[in-house]
């Protein structure tokens, strides 16, 4: 991949699509938004898609035979096609969830239900026995760790994990002994929301297949920034959220290989996910509807579809190339300021434009406050990854994360503001 930024003209055109980027804050300073890893800003096409749905097509989907209901259903399912094709999945393999966390919990609770005997013979492949193993990594967001701890507690399974090396890369070499014949689930991140390191998925999938374990990929940070083809990656399940990929909050997607979703028992039950209901028992709809109980977040799903289409139109190769150049600039920026240490790879290979760092002698909160005073928005804290921070011996970091709309000028403003941090707190005088 060539690290070619969008041209000034192309970037100006992209930024013009995002109304929020034009605003000022803290006494008139232009916003420098470097918190896209937490949530991205939204282009007009996403805002318009939601507005258009409510203004022109609003009706209950998958029920009713009137024209509006047909149009609403069509728009809802078209969004599913847009999202599925964006990540290299079939349309029936994408389940709407409220966010990525909900998608991971859905898989964990479906396995719990299978363990309790729900789903019959077909679902036995999801059942866990005491002593079975669930393998995660030390780099996981809490969303891809805590649901597995809970599943283990409910079933008697054991959580094990693959470590992280000093550069923040996953210890792929540990797969051979951490993943064993008892491993039933291998859940891992596609790209760390802290270190920005992008995982080489192939060895994880190969090892899981060798022992018959299911793979669950947290693709929250990869889908907005890199070309992702889930079929090509060969994972069994994957989750990602709308709001990090230029879409709305309140919607995310769970991908599951078709044969797995067909065999998996439901989690939330009730309206819209059934076939035949009697007073004694119920049969369930095929996937994806089986996993979409109750009224869905229709407008948000349509917005997420519009976001996928917007990114597809820009071209994910172009997006990734632009952000690879930004990653290099962010790394240069933090390296140019003395007493700043990066958690994660300092080379640009297989990494996102997401750079977490500590400033010696200054707590991350205080770093963030000084940057905020310059109009620069970064995330501070543990970024929902306490074990990873503990691995590096820190409680909190500041994190600058870019997106397709980020400019070199913004990174220059960030660098300038970062340069003043230590002096403000009385160091280096």
Partner 1 sequence: MTSSMEQLYQQVILDHARDPHGRGLVDGPADAVAGESHQVNPTCGDEVTLRVALGTRGTVPVVEGVSWEGQGCSISQASVSVLTDLVTGQDLRQVDEVAETFRALMHTRGAGLDEEREDALGDATAFTGVAKYPARIKCALLGWAALKDAIAKTGVAVPATASAAATTTEEPA
Is residue 393 a contact residue for partner 1 (CB under 8 A)?
no
Among 80, 190, 257, 382, binds partner 1 (CB under 8 A): 382
Is residue 392 a contact residue for partner 1 (CB under 8 A)?
no
What minimum distance in Å lies between the beta carbon of 360 and partner 1? 13
The reply to whether 384 belongs to the active site is yes
Is residue 370 a contact residue for partner 1 (CB under 8 A)?
yes
Count Cβ neighbours within 10 Å for each residue of 278-295 and write b for 16 or more, e otherwise.
Answer: eeeeeebbebbbbbbbee
Is residue 365 a contact residue for partner 1 (CB under 8 A)?
yes
What minimum distance in Å lies between the beta carbon of 373 and partner 1? 5
Distance, CA of 272 to CA of 293 (rounded, Å): 6
Is residue 395 a contact residue for partner 1 (CB under 8 A)?
yes
What minimum distance in Å lies between the beta carbon of 389 and partner 1? 7
Q: Which stretch binds partner 1 (CB under 8 A): 81-89, 255-263, 330-338, 377-385?
A: 377-385
CB 246 within 8 A of CB 46: yes
Is residue 386 a contact residue for partner 1 (CB under 8 A)?
yes
Out of 384, 387, 392, 420, the active site residue is 384
Among 314, 326, 396, 400, binds partner 1 (CB under 8 A): 396
Is residue 389 a contact residue for partner 1 (CB under 8 A)?
yes
Q: Which stretch binds partner 1 (CB under 8 A): 46-54, 77-85, 364-372, 408-416?
A: 364-372
CB 399 within 8 A of CB 33: no
Is residue 181 a contact residue for partner 1 (CB under 8 A)?
no
Is residue 425 a contact residue for partner 1 (CB under 8 A)?
yes
Residue nearer to partner 1 on the CB measure, 203 or 420: 420
Residue nearer to partner 1 on the CB measure, 80 or 383: 383
Is residue 369 a contact residue for partner 1 (CB under 8 A)?
yes
What minimum distance in Å lies between the beta carbon of 418 and partner 1? 13
Residue nearer to partner 1 on the CB measure, 23 or 429: 429
Tokens describing residue 112:
């719990």
Is residue 176 a contact residue for partner 1 (CB under 8 A)?
no
Residues binding partner 1: what is the number (CB under 8 A)?
21
Is residue 149 a contact residue for partner 1 (CB under 8 A)?
no
Q: Considering only residues 344-363, where is the footprint of partner 1 by CB under 8 A?
A: 362-363
Output phi, psi for 235, to 5 deg.
Answer: -75, 160
Q: Which stretch binds partner 1 (CB under 8 A): 61-69, 129-137, 150-158, 419-427?
A: 419-427
Q: Which residues contact 122 (CB under 8 A, 6 or more apart)?
A: 262, 263
What minimum distance in Å lies between the beta carbon of 198 and partner 1? 25
Distance, CA of 424 to CA of 429 (rounded, Å): 9
Residue nearer to partner 1 on the CB measure, 271 or 361: 361
Is residue 81 a contact residue for partner 1 (CB under 8 A)?
no
347: burial class by Cβ within 10 Å (0-12, 13-18, 19+)? exposed
What minimum distance in Å lies between the beta carbon of 381 and partner 1? 4
Q: Considering only residues 24-63, where is the footprint of partner 1 by CB under 8 A?
A: 26-27
Residue nearer to partner 1 on the CB measure, 59 or 427: 427
Output phi, psi for 78, to 5 deg.
Answer: -65, -40
Residue nearer to partner 1 on the CB measure, 170 or 359: 359
Residue 185: beta bridge partners? 134, 214
Query: What separation in angstroms does the CA of 120 have from each of 113, 183, 210, 265?
Result: 10, 22, 25, 8
Mind telling me the catalytic residues? 384
Applying CB under 8 A, the residues found at the interface with partner 1 are: 26-27, 362-366, 369-370, 373, 380-382, 386, 389, 395-396, 420, 424-426
């Amino acid at each position: 991949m060539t690290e070619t930024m969008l041209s000034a003209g192309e970037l100006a055109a992209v930024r013009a699509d995002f109304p929020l980027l034009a605003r000022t804050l803290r006494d008139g300073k232009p916003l420098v938004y470097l918190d896209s890893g937490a949530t991205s800003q939204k282009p007009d096409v996403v805002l318009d898609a939601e507005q258009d749905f409510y203004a022109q097509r609003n009706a209950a989907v998958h029920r009713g035979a009137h024209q509006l209901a047909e149009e609403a259903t069509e728009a809802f399912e078209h969004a599913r096609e847009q999202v599925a094709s964006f990540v290299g999945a079939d349309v029936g393999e994408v389940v709407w969830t409220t966010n990525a966390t909900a998608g991971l919990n859905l898989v964990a609770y479906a396995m719990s239900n299978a363990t309790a005997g729900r789903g019959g013979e077909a679902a036995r492949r999801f059942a866990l026995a005491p002593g079975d193993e669930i393998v995660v990594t030390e780099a996981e967001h809490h969303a891809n760790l805590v649901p597995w701890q809970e599943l283990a507690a409910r079933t008697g399974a054991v959580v094990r994990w693959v470590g992280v090396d000093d550069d923040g890369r996953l210890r792929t070499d540990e797969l051979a002994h951490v993943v064993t014949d008892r491993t039933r689930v291998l859940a891992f991140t596609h790209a760390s929301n802290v270190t920005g390191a992008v995982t080489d998925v192939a060895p994880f999938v190969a090892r899981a297949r060798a022992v018959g374990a299911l793979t669950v990929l947290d693709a929250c940070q990869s889908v907005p920034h890199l070309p992702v083809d889930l079929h090509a990656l060969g994972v069994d399940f994957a989750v990602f959220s709308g709001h990090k990929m230029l879409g709305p909050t309140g919607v995310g997607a769970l991908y599951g290989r078709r044969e797995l979703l067909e065999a998996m028992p439901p989690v939330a039950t009730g309206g819209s996910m059934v076939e035949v209901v009697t007073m004694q028992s119920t049969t369930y709809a095929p996937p994806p509807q089986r996993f979409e109980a109750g009224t869905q977040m229709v407008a948000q799903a349509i917005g997420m579809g519009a976001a996928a289409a917007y990114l597809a139109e820009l071209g994910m190769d172009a997006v990734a190339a632009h952000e690879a150049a930004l990653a290099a600039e962010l790394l240069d920026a933090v390296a140019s300021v003395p007493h700043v240490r990066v958690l994660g790879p300092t080379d640009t290979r297989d990494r996102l434009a997401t750079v977490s760092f500590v400033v010696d002698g200054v707590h991350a909160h205080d770093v963030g406050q000084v940057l905020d005073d310059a109009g620069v928005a970064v995330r501070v804290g543990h970024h929902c990854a306490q074990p990873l921070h503990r691995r590096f011996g820190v409680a909190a970091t500041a994190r600058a994360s870019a997106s397709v709309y980020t400019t070199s000028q913004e990174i220059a403003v960030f660098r300038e503001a970062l340069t003043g941090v230590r002096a403000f707190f009385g160091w280096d005088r």
